[in-house]
Each structure stands twice: as structure tokens, then as C-alpha cells.
Amino acid sequence: MFGTLSPLRSSAAFYLLAFAMVVAVALTGGTTAAAMLTPAVATLLMLVLITRDGWTRQGWASLGVHRLGLRLWPVAILLPILIVAIGAAVVLATDAAHWQAPEQARDYPAWTLPAFLLANIAYASVTVTLTEEIGWRGYLLPRLTRLGARRAMLLSGLLHGIWHLPVMLLTSLYHPVGSRLVVVPMFLVAVTALGVFYGWLRLRTDSIWPAVMAHSAHNVAVAWMSSLVVGNAVAIQYIAGEGAITTAAYVAIAIGLLKRANGQQSMAARNPSTTADAPQPVPAVGQ
């Protein structure tokens, strides 16, 4: 339909589609699962109907799904778990919360818990997290690298955070506890910093999977923390999860990665299909 869109205009079109769809989900009383599908749907519309990059093998390859990027999986999985655990430990050290193991967890030996955690991460990675990351780090990030790697990582994270706001502000589905004046800015900073980490993983490996694993590890760790650490819900929201402690840790990591990324370009950034001012004409089906 618009096969001559530049990478930056393709990025803008993708974001407008994803944001419009998530607003529609929020206004119609949809679920968080439906909201998480919108980046994947926007990507599909861009590739198949709007720019038609999806009619070529190179167009689908630009998403980074065809490579595993295994060498960074340990960092991608362990770092978010460690950071969320530190936030949980800090809030447990106060009088605001205490540890409460679920009833069913008492039936299993402690050594099986890491296996359950990894199973949760694996399940999230091939379902809801994948549908998000296909959009943010699969489609959007490589196209934003026209602005430079550092700006692309920051902007993809910030746009990802803003995309959550319709669900946060118009429904009670996501982070409903605490003042919006505190929760929303802190959440945006956390997701922007996380976006730098996810983006670094994506650009270092030219694969979406390390970013998917890191996103899943963060989400699963926060979900587990929310069920195991109970007490003053507002204090827990402000300190742990995506609160002050974890946000500060992610910001520190993001600053370090941005310094390292100065001037760096990935294979994805050098891909002509995503960085040329005018993409090459897309052949018709069957050519």
C-alpha cells in the first residue's frame, strides 16, 4: 500500500496502529492479554498490508525471530530476576510487607522452585511476551536505529511505556494501586530503562529472543513477588516490582549500556530493508 515509506515513517505508522488498538481495548473493557496482542497485530498489518515488507524473506528476517541469540540468554533471564529480588528484599526489610508462601508451594521441595520459575518464563516467552516484543524490539527498534543506537533504545523503551498508559489510566487491569502521580512517572522511567536493556540484547545478537526472555523474566519475577510478598500494597508498589528500588537499578544498568552503545551499530541497524531512506521496491507475490 505504501511501499516507499522510510524506516522512520514506518515506525510512526506502526506506533499509531499499536496505540490506537490498545486504546480501543481499554475503552471496550478488553483484557491485558488482548492489549498485549496489539503490537504483533500492528506489525502484521505493516508487513503485509502497508509497507508489504512481509512479501519478502528479508522483511520477516528483519524481526530477528530466526536467530536464537543463545549467548545472552543467561544475562537476559538472571539479571531481571536478581533486580526484582533485590526490590522484594528491601520492602521485606521494612514493616510494610512480609513473606507468605502460597499453600500449594509447601507441597514441593525448595529445589523445584527454580524449575517452576523457568517454566513460567518459557511459557510467557512463547505467548504474551513474544507478541509484545515482535512489535517493540522486532519491528520498531531496528527501524529507529536511523536515529542512532542509543536514541533508538531509549525511544523504543519510552514508546513502549506510553503504550501501556491507556490500560493503566482507563482500566483497573494494570498497576491499579497507588497514586497515578507517583506510579505512572515511575513506571515510565522503569520501562524506558528496561527498553534500553531489551534493546541492547536485541542489537547485540540481531535476535529478538534474548529481549523476549528478559521481558518474560521481569514480568514473571514481578508476578511471583506480588504473590509472595504481602502487606501494604501501596508501599510494595512504590518500593518493589516496578517501584523505586528496581527502577533505580534498571536506570543504572541503562546508563552503563548507553555509554557502551555510543556509536555502535548492529547487524539489524545495517540491514538495508530497515535503514535505507527509501526501502527497495517489494516484488509482487509470486516473483
In a domain? residue 287: no
Residue holding cell 512479501? 55
Q: Letter for the amino acid at 209?
A: W
Q: Is residue 36 part of a domain?
A: yes
Helix (H), strand (E) at residue 148: none
- Judged on CB neighbours under 10 Å (0-12, 13-18, 19+), 77 is buried
Please report whether residue 286 resides in a domain: no
Q: Taking Cα atoms as reference points, which of 81, 83, 88, 85 lies closest to residue 120? A: 81
| The model's pTM | 0.87
Backbone angles phi, psi at 97, to 5 degrees: -150, 165
User: Is residue 178 assigned to a domain?
Assistant: yes
Q: Domains in the chain: how many in total?
A: 1
Residue 114 lies in a domain: yes
pLDDT above 70: residue 281: no
pLDDT at residue 227 tops 70: yes
Instruction: Determine, yes or no, domain membership for 1.
Output: no
Residue 285 lies in a domain: no
Domain of residue 138, residue span: 7-275
CB-CB contact of 26 with 171 (8 Å) = yes
Least confident of 38-52, 145-159, 192-206, 255-269: 255-269
